[in-house]
């Protein structure tokens, strides 16, 4: 009943925002915090993402994401299993790896 009240964007747009913007953006911010004093990776990613969206509609990238998940069928995965692996397990793995990277940021004296 209330699902359309809170959904300003379509399902496809939400997927693109979460999986191609928000998750990688948090990775970039974490790496910038751990490795640099400036937001180098974050700014490069935001500019790259903006350019990519200016070249194609978000539906183009959603279709690519769906085709990528459907390509897992040649390895015996269903679409749902591929979603769990690619959209939950891989981001979780990369997040854990980034969290384990030591902090190389130079401390000012």
d(CA 14, CA 88): 15
pTM value is 0.78
Which stretches within the chain are classed as H helix? 3-6, 11-16, 23-35, 40-55, 58-70, 79-84, 90-100
pLDDT of residue 106 exceeding 70: no
Q: Nearest-CA neighbor of 31 among 109, 107, 108, 94?
A: 94
Supply the pLDDT for residue 1. 46
What are the pLDDT digits (tens) for 17-76? Answer: 888 889 999 999 999 988 887 899 999 999 999 999 899 988 899 999 999 999 999 999
């Amino acid at each position: 009943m209330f699902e359309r009240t809170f959904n300003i964007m379509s399902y496809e747009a939400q997927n693109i925002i979460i999986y191609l913007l928000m998750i990688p953006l948090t990775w970039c911010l974490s790496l910038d915090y751990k490795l640099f004093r400036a937001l180098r990776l974050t700014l490069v990613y935001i500019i790259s993402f903006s350019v990519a969206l200016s070249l194609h509609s978000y539906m183009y990238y959603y279709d690519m994401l769906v085709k990528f998940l459907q390509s897992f069928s040649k390895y015996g995965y269903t679409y749902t299993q591929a979603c769990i692996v690619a959209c939950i397990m891989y981001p979780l793995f990369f997040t854990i790896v980034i969290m384990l990277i030591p902090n190389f940021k130079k401390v000012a004296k």
